[in-house]
Structure 1
Amino acid sequence: MQSLLGLLPGASPEDAAKKTGATQNTSITTNDGVKLVYQRHGRLGGPVVVLVHGWSGSQHYFDLNTRPLANQGLTVYTYDQRFHGESDKPSWGFHVARLAADLHELLTQLDLADVTVVGTSMGCAVIWSYIELFGEQRLKQCVFVDQAPLQNTAPDWKWGSTGCYDLASLTRLQCKLQSDFVGFAKDNGAFCASLPLAPEVVQVLEQETLRADPNALAQLMADHTALDWRPLLPRITVPCLNLVGRKSAVFPWYGCEVVGKLVPNCHTVFFERANHWLYLEQPKEFCSLVADFVTGSFVKVSQILHIP
């Protein structure tokens, strides 16, 4: 499997792995017997960052981010959530809460503390569910990337997902996943990125999506899209950074902005030209912002409202 690490300037996959201190794939086993594959990037002893990928992604969606973050002295962990990438794909556990329990087991088994956890898309919901179930134990701060607090429409909410927001749209998506998964993987890239991505990057992203289990994705989305996190967000007390793609085709920007308004200790930054995959479209800016937040909290990022 080609890694995006090999697409970094001047680096073969092997050279890039050496420079970031990346470990080979290793794994933990959850309490229900599921293997989760993870990697560590950077040297031990730095501030710990855990990157949580979104629905239908994998840990390799972060390959353009791990080296720059590790070069800032951070210890970065990525992992494949169940049903995704190289992790197991069981016939149960199609709930965001189960994914949150997996995150808890990863942090616990690796004995990671004072963690900055970064969630992209559904990865945000995994973090919110973690906090609901386990509190803020082991967490120092959080970064949320382009996710509204509720995807479905509701009598008091119209700013959720543009593509999956009620039973009819969920059914259409589930049919697409089960009848044309290859077509879904291709369409997903065109939908989630506005700024051009290198063809090689697009190819790797599509291949990584195709590693997921489409039937599991269909059931998992049914759970994810209906969850309303608005009551939970005001209870979060750790410092948070909310990153929003102004050109996001997945959510209206003002729906994702609400996260920053509901979390008490949260700062929102808009990526003005980026879409849902802002961390892939503008990886340099994304990594600089996250590294500043990890090492300096709000001191370094508080004046940044927009990324051009």
Structure 2
Amino acid sequence: MPDVNATPNTPPTVPVVRFAPSPNGLLHVGHARSALINWHFARDHGGGFLVRIEDIDISRTRPEFERAILDDLRWLGLEWPEPVRRQSEHFEDYRVALHELRKLGLIYPAFLSRAEAAEIVRQSEASGRTWPRDPDGAPHYPDIDRRRSETERDRRIAEGDPHAWRLDMECAIKGLDAPLGWREIGTGPGGETGSVTADPAAWGDVILARRDVPTSYHLSVIVDDAFQNISHVIRGQDLFAATSVHRLLQEILGLPEPLYCHHALVCDSHGRKLSKSDGDTSITALRAQGASAEDIIALAGMPTTA
């Protein structure tokens, strides 16, 4: 569990944490673990526990999944203030942040389709060159669009060419006044703890707004955490590396720096983290099979909420 005495840069009166599921599937035991860690932290330290619905991917999210998620959390004994924040209701907040980054000259329109970008990477690697990849293993976006002139960019946008907005990572890093890092009060996947040096360049030019949605996970999460006065971001180790991007965006936009605590994941018998997309057994299914809330809490490796 994180140490409440480790203080963020601009702490609220009491600690505030959040559990932020995406309603594109049902919760599994790994989600229960993360929610319970956050809930226990808030309860044990007189803080606030918030639930946020991260539903920016409107093509995949479903109201029935949201209802099931909230029902499962209540069934586990968790409580939170209403209404919950739904990202789909706050696209304008993310547009404002994106506009600020555009005024700073730190984002650019990216016109390549996924297939076009993948073909450029394939051809480069086929010729024997090594293409950089991010911590998740995905190839960095080619620099073709970053090198386009403003005139060409404006023309293509005016003509209605589909595009996303990407962060000019090299330019963003050059603008920093000091080395970037964060305070880790949990443990990273490699045992990292304490003062951690951020490496946003490892991610390349990340997407900050998509063609059909005016934001991305990286942008919306830091805007929401600031808006909701989140003091401690407690989440799984699979998001440890992404914290580098989040700290960069917080620094650029002048947003508060929370403390970070990355916890161990719940894995299957093969050591693979549980995933909604892989069809891992959901809490809803386990409930239907007769499992009690105490059973799920024990599977998550947590004490009861009582």
TM bucket normalised to smaller = under 0.3
Bigger helix share: 1
Q: TM-score with structure 2 length normalisation?
A: 0.27
Q: Which structure has the bigger radius of gyration? A: 2
Identify the structure with bigger relative contact order (alpha carbons < 8 Å, sequence gap 6+): 2
